[in-house]
Structure 1
Amino acid sequence: MSDILSTDVAIIGAGPVGLFAVFEAGMLGLKAVVIDALDGIGGQCSALYPEKPIYDIPAHPAIDGQTLVDQLEAQAAPFAPYYLLEQQVIAVEPREGGRFRLKTSTGAKIDAGAVIIAAGCGAFGPNRPPLAGLEAYEATKGVQYMVRRREDFRDRKVVIAGGGDSAVDWALSLAEVAAGVALVHRRPKFRAAPESLRQLDDLAKSGRIEMVVPYQLDGLEGTDGQLTGVVVSTLDGQKKVLPADVLLPFYGLAMTLGPIAHWGLGLEDSRIAVEQRNCATNVPGIYAVGDIAVYPGKLKLILSGFAEAAAACHAAHAHIHPDKVVHFEYSTSKGVPGAA
């Protein structure tokens, strides 16, 4: 690779919406470079819920996160995107002719005709419980913040903490493979879908899930980072120890825009304000799509992000080639250029 990588479109974020933007750009004859801070493509779908079913993808009554990512990667593959992973875009500088120079945390430089930001909710990390000795148990996987493979928890004693969809959904799922599942929450009421709560109640009554309410995490027990128990307590100080091989605290994610916040873009509630018709930001040639983009009536759905990616790519083509008219054609008519 040369010192400066030149491309038509730089796509920041390799989640589902970023991957679909590669396809849409390719259908318009635009080459794409994709940059992501994670060590693989797929964004939160791959990092947080690869085996969790998604129910609102058209034509798929249910599809798990990793399968969706795999299919989007295959769909983009004919256009040979260049992936720059494990690095963060730290600067985007306007250049002559409406182009941009991007710099990443590893020193890579990209010259691009347009920029599409598909960074989800920005940089994210788990909200970690304030427990003594937590780091030692994190290092040995005694404390984890996501489930990549259910099989990793087969025949293990699992304690899950949290009251939202992630905690309830994974309690239901891991009850099928774990030696035991205990669900800890500080109040009896959970914030999850009614059907999930019905299933949770059934499994609790059958003894397959232990409901530990109203309790909260209080401490960890073990030797040399090997977890053996999770200490929980009530608000009035009553304590007990839950036998555990692994603790899964699902207290949500800490989100931050990171360097994006300093690029001169119009922001609204830590998201990027765009025009709904083409997802253009206040900086000509920079577009934002997916969860990071906001406009009146915005729906934070993957399918909304797909439509936004298509609109942004058409706008990016007009920015890069202002004198070149694109005659819209359906994919059923034009096929996939360059694909076998």
Structure 2
Amino acid sequence: MTSNATHQTDVAIIGAGPVGLFAVFECGMLKMKAHVLDALDMAGGQCSALYPEKPIYDIPGHPRIDAAELVRQLEAQAAPFKPVYHLGHAVTRVESHGDRFLVGNANGVTVDARAVIVAAGVGAFGPNRPPLEGIEAYEGKSVHYLVKRREDFRGKRIVIAGGGDSALDWVLSLADLAAHVYVIHRRPKFRAAPESVARMEALVKTGKVEMVVPYQLADLEGSNGQISAVIVSTLDGQTRSLPADALLPFFGLSMNLGPIAQWGLNLEHNHILVDPATCATSRAGIFAIGDIAHYPGKLKLILSGFAEAASAAHAIYPLVHPGEVLHFEYSTTSGVPAA
């Protein structure tokens, strides 16, 4: 991590999440050096900040891998190319400088690069809070919007609210640790992957998980930051009190592009529009990959972001090495430099 200085490199990568880290590797394989900037003080993006112990099932070659371990593996994969990380301070400006860019962060660091890759995930993010009076008093103590250590929930009565992948992923992950898991959702149909729904329904049959449907959060009971019960209600006013030690509401993330919105890029619903073939944005020399990038048929999967990183790196190569013919080689042929 560096401070007040100007650095020259080939590619500035904004975002140190999994896709940004893989972009370091892809650029490195094409003999392009990279500096990586991120507002968080650690690499890994949401995987590190929100759910380091969350299991991920759709990474090729890994039937299951925890988010933190995936980040560690990606950092090791990028390491031979000696990336420079500028972490803990948000990028505040991206300015054209001839045919290059000056990328600056809030700590006074400026990176002078030929091309920019925006791998900023969902931008600045935070949880969507349920509208429960007084919930702030319990946050961080018995109301949690993320799980950093599964072990913290061993033997506890847990209420998980939400119907998407995050909610069901944690139902499946915590069921074997918790004393009991309640799943609160306002309707019987879930938005999560069908396989996750099927696995949850199997746990319901064993009694480890109880579905409380169709209900929604209504109130909390407790004192000194510790909940004792979660009150839920139906749309017609029927209520139920669930004895609980912890509430995990998963209602998605609020998304804020922040300064990205001022960089002259074509945007659509807080996403950056790109050419799917190259991940080029509307501003020459700037590319976007991962969840922040959008094009017809886009799938918001980490593996899609990995492929986009490769496409962007290949599109950037002639900018960094003008006039040089790129002879494409598989990594099994070219190998990877030793760290």
In the alignment, the residues of structure 2 paired with residue 15 and residue 293 of structure 1 have an alpha-carbon distance, to the nearest angstrom, of 14
Runs of 5+ consecutive residues of structure 1 not aligned to the other structure: none
SS at match of 2:138: helix
**More moved, 44-53 vs 243-252:** 44-53
| Superposition deviation, residue 295 in structure 1 | 2.5
Offset of residue 114 of structure 1: 1.1
CA contact (8 A) 2:273 2:281 kept: yes
Q: Unaligned regions of 5+ residues in structure 2, if any? A: none
Residue identity matched to 1:154: R
Shift, 1:13, TM fit: 1.0
Aligned-pair CA distance for 1:265: 0.7
CA shift at 1:52, angstroms? 3.2
Report the residue type matching 1:109 in the other structure: T
TM value normalised by structure 1: 0.92
Q: Aligned in 2, Cα 1:179/1:30: closer, same or farther, shift over 3 Å?
A: same
- Which residue is equivalent to 1:21? 23
- Return the offset for 1:286: 0.7
The match for 1:48 is 50
Quick one: structure 1 residues 107 and 193, their matched pair in 2 at CA, closer, same or farther if it must change by over 3 Å?
same
- The letter of the residue matching 2:290 is G
Cα pair distance change 1:320/1:202, threshold 3 Å: closer
> Which secondary structure state, in structure 1, belongs to the residue aligned with residue 7 of structure 2?
strand
> 2:292 is matched by which residue type in structure 1?
I
1:78 aligns with 2:77: no
User: 1:92 aligned to 91, 94, 115, which one?
Assistant: 94
1:68 counterpart residue number = 70
TM-superposition CA deviations, 1:40-77 (whole Å, max 9, x none): 21122333343333333222233332222211110001
Deviation, structure 1 residue 109: 2.0
Matched, 1:117 2:153: no
Look up the match of 1:247: 247
1:124 and 1:100 map into 2 onto residues whose CA distance is 26
Q: Are residues 210 and 304 of structure 1, via their aligned partners in 2, closer, same or farther at CA, if it must alter by over 3 Å? A: closer
Distance of 2:222 and 2:43 partners within structure 1: 35
1:80-131 alpha-carbon deviations (Å, 9 max, x no partner): 21112222112100002x1111121333222222100111222221110111
Match of 1:267 in 2: 267
Partner residue, 2:164: 164
> How many angstroms does 1:159 deviate by?
0.9
Larger mean CA deviation between 200-209 and 305-314 belongs to 200-209
The more displaced of 309-318 and 247-256 is: 309-318
Partner SS for 1:8: strand
CA–CA separation in structure 2 for the residues paired with 1:210 and 1:200: 9
State the Cα distance separating 1:281 from its structure 2 match. 1.4
Structure 1 Cα separation of the partners of residues 214 and 138 of structure 2: 24
Q: Which amino acid aligns with 2:169?
A: D
| Cα RMSD after superposing both structures | 2.0
Which residue of structure 1 aligns with residue 137 of structure 2? 136
Deviation at 1:264, TM superposition (A): 0.4
Answering whether residue 323 of structure 2 is matched by residue 320 of structure 1, we say: no
Partner SS for 1:197: helix
Letter in 2 for 1:161: A
Deviating more after overlay: 181-190 vs 320-329: 320-329
Count of aligned pairs between the two proteins:
337
Deviations 1:254-299 (A, max 9, x none): 1222211110011233221222222111211111112222223333
CA distance in 1, matches of 2:271, 2:204: 39
TM-score (norm 2): 0.92
Aligned equivalents of 1:202, 1:294: Cα separation in 2: 36
Per the alignment, residue 235 of structure 1 pairs with 235
Distance 1:209 1:310, change over 3 A: same
Residue 165 of structure 1: how far off its partner (Å): 2.2
> Which AA in structure 1 matches 2:318?
A
Post-superposition Cα deviations, 1:179-238, rounded to whole Å, max 9, x if no partner, equal: 221111222332233333333233223322222222211122222222222222222333
Look up the match of 2:184: 184
Distance 1:276 1:193 in 2: 25
Question: Paired residue for 2:127?
Answer: 126
Q: 1:58 aligns with which of 57, 60, 67?
A: 60
Q: Which amino acid aligns with 1:72?
A: L
Question: 1:31 aligned to 21, 30, 33, which one?
Answer: 33
Which letter does structure 2 place at the counterpart of 1:64?
A: D
In structure 2, relative to structure 1, the CA distance for the partners of 1:264 and 1:153 (3 Å cut) is same
Residues 163-172 or 284-293, more deviating? 163-172
Q: Does the 8 Å contact 2:160/2:184 carry over to 1?
A: yes
